[in-house]
Amino acid sequence: MDRDHSIRTQGVESSAKNKSSLLNGKILRQALIGSFIKLNPIMMMNNPVMFIVEIGTILTLLTVFMPELFGMEGHTGFNFAVFAILLFTILFANFAEALAEGRGKAQAESLKKTKTDTKARKLDDKGNIHIVSSTDLKKGDIVLVEAGDLVPSDGEIIEGLASIDESAITGESAPVIKEAGGDFSSVTGGTKVVSDSVKVRISANPGESFLDQMISLVEGAGRQKTPNEIALNTLLVTLTAIFLIVVVTLVPIANYVGVRLEISTLIALLVCLIPTTIGALLSAIGIAGMDRVTRFNVLAMSGKAVEAAGDIHTMILDKTGTITFGNRMAAEFIPVGSRKEEDVREAAVMASIQDETPEGRSVLELASEQGLQIDSSRYGEAEFIPFTADTRMSGMNIKGESYRKGSVDAVKRYVKEKGGQPPADLDEQADRIARMGGTPLAVAIGKEILGLIYLKDTVKPGMKERFNQLRHMGIRTIMCTGDNPLTASTIAKEAGVDDFIAESTPEDKIRVIREEQEQGKLVAMTGDGTNDAPALAQADVGLAMNSGTVAAKEAANMVDLDSDPSKIIDVVGIGKQLLMTRGALTTFSMANDIAKYFAIIPAIFTLAIPQMETLNFMGLHSPTSAILSALIFNAVIIPLLIPLAMKGVAYKPLPAVQLLRRNLLIYGFGGVIVPFVGIKIIDMILEVFL
């Protein structure tokens, strides 16, 4: 189990490493070209703040070529400098957005390489095979997929069992077992069948497959703004309108005191006062948030889902296949009668040495973990006894000795037929295992029962630690299971969830989610089965496992390609990081205005009102250098903040009050101090040239 988990982790880390390297020279070049393409006013109108800056840039350019039209003869050099700085301000803003989009497009290109026009073996009503193109397959078609074939499109296995290589989609190197029926029957187009063959019912029409949808989403085409982003955008537009009115009203005030304000100066003042920093980075923050989720191998159907994850209060988790592996696995060897544990262990291994079922393999793994050396090559000539519904046992005959393991009743009957008698404490120990929610398997050699194998649905490694992380984030976890209360309590305690609901139905899950939502809480739900689909649709954030059914994935607004339910913790962290990044950069942008105000306002009025020089406590060289310094800082700070917008502000699980205090201290106070220092340094450099 640990070895498989290690392989799985290495695969995910490898995938994450590949995806983190998407920021390369090609993306940078494309982003640079995109910066100029996005100068199109129609595209700029999507960002009202930067659209105002672009209008100001055009007006300033007109003052350079037609100064007489604005009565600004003799100021061509200053006007051109203002124009150049404003142009770079817009280009830097466009570069941030294009860079964020570029990562998604690069990932989409890598996904498109896995989307090939493969040939499919389509079955007709009579079972005859027809070779067709995967692009001709429609929803409801039945195809045969054999070892070595690519799955032609999304679907569900309706017959057979196969090992599927999903590395092209998930980046995970270890193949997964998919079989007809149950919650592990869905397959994704572009994955490869490694062994055996299966019949698949296609569940998507051409262009509507899971891979098609994923490519479209990571490209960012049609990305809708989230409610928080819309609200912040509205605030920025409102502030821009207010400052526009303030700047316009300065003209008559300046005329009254005998100061003539040039249009380039007014534009510079407006650009410095409106929240250009956050306005320039807002789209990049949203796109980068979606990109971060995708790089964790989670496909978010909307930015709203990512953002909602940052405000989650309660998490509902399905037990089987989510918290636990979903397979019964050996947990303990229990001796009965006068036998010892090592006797049971050795006999269980002999009965399981050729057993390829999950239970059989888990017996060997447990014995190996307990120090028993296993050499299966020594038993190559032994007679393997497979499990059947009639005998309900399996085992091995070797050198005249018979080893058996199976249901307690079946093994008891077997030894009695050989003339043996079950130990007196056998039933007592078997009942104890059953009360704990486990399954007892009896182990026998010949006519003697040595003990029991305690099979249990094992909790996935690291779940308890992950749930502790959620608790520190203020998120309550509830496990839903169809098991009896005793079994549910045992699993809940082992996993470390806050609460559980035993013998739950799909209706119970929806009821719990609605009760939490009625209290004003946002709820996340993870699941993989068809019976989880209604709850996944009801939840604010529904995370379906990629190994689950088509119904579950269609109902959810996120799909975890690694089928790791604990991934929701990473999603929550990214959601909180997204909200914190917006808040931090908004705070920094607003605080910037204080320094720029004290740089430009004194510069505008000092010549006519000498007393205004008192406000020039930064000691800026001249009115011209003051305006240009503020403008240059306003432009330069945008590319300097792009890495922060792309990476996101680091999230720490702290109370809201502490987070707010920390945010104000770093980005509020820092947003005031940094511009003063930056503007002064730029002014000192300009002093050499002016």
On the CB side of 50, how many CA atoms lie within 13 Å of its CA? 33
Show the tokens assigned to 231.
């609200």
| Closest by Cα among 688, 585, 597, 590 to 643 | 585
Q: Is 614 known as a binding-site position?
A: no
Q: Is 294 known as a binding-site position?
A: no
Query: What phi and psi values does residue 177 have, to the nearest 5 degrees?
Result: -90, 125
Q: Is 625 known as a binding-site position?
A: no
Q: In the annotation, is 318 catalytic? A: yes
* Pairing of the two strands 186-187 and 324-335: unpaired
Q: Is 234 known as a binding-site position?
A: no
- Residue 100 contacts residue 295 (beta carbons within 8 Å): no
Q: Is 532 known as a binding-site position?
A: yes
Please name the residues in contact with 4: beta carbons below 8 A apart, sequence gap of 6 or more: 174
Q: Is 359 known as a binding-site position?
A: yes
Exposed e or buried b per residue across 577-595, where buried means at least 16 C-beta atoms within 10 angstroms of its C-beta: bbbbbbbbbbbbbbbbbeb
Q: Is 343 known as a binding-site position?
A: no
Residue 456, SS3 per DSSP: strand
Rounded-to-integer distance, Cα 63 and Cα 521, Å: 55
- C-beta atoms surrounding 304 within 10 Å: 18
Rounded-to-integer distance, Cα 542 and Cα 318, Å: 12
Task: Check 149, 165, 212, 318 and give the catalytic one.
Answer: 318
Rounded-to-integer distance, Cα 328 and Cα 363, Å: 10
Q: Is 387 known as a binding-site position?
A: yes
Q: Is 165 known as a binding-site position?
A: no
Rounded-to-integer distance, Cα 290 and Cα 282, Å: 13
Q: Is 394 known as a binding-site position?
A: yes
Q: Is 399 known as a binding-site position?
A: no
DSSP 8-state code for residue 150: B
Residue 147, SS3 per DSSP: coil
* Pairing of the two strands 192-195 and 523-527: unpaired
Q: Is 393 known as a binding-site position?
A: yes
Q: Is 392 known as a binding-site position?
A: yes
Residue 264, SS3 per DSSP: helix
Give the residue numbers of the binding site for Mg(2+): 528, 532
Give the residue numbers of the binding site for ATP: 355, 359, 387-394, 405
Give the residue numbers of the binding site: 355, 359, 387-394, 405, 528, 532
What are the residue numbers of the active site?
Answer: 318
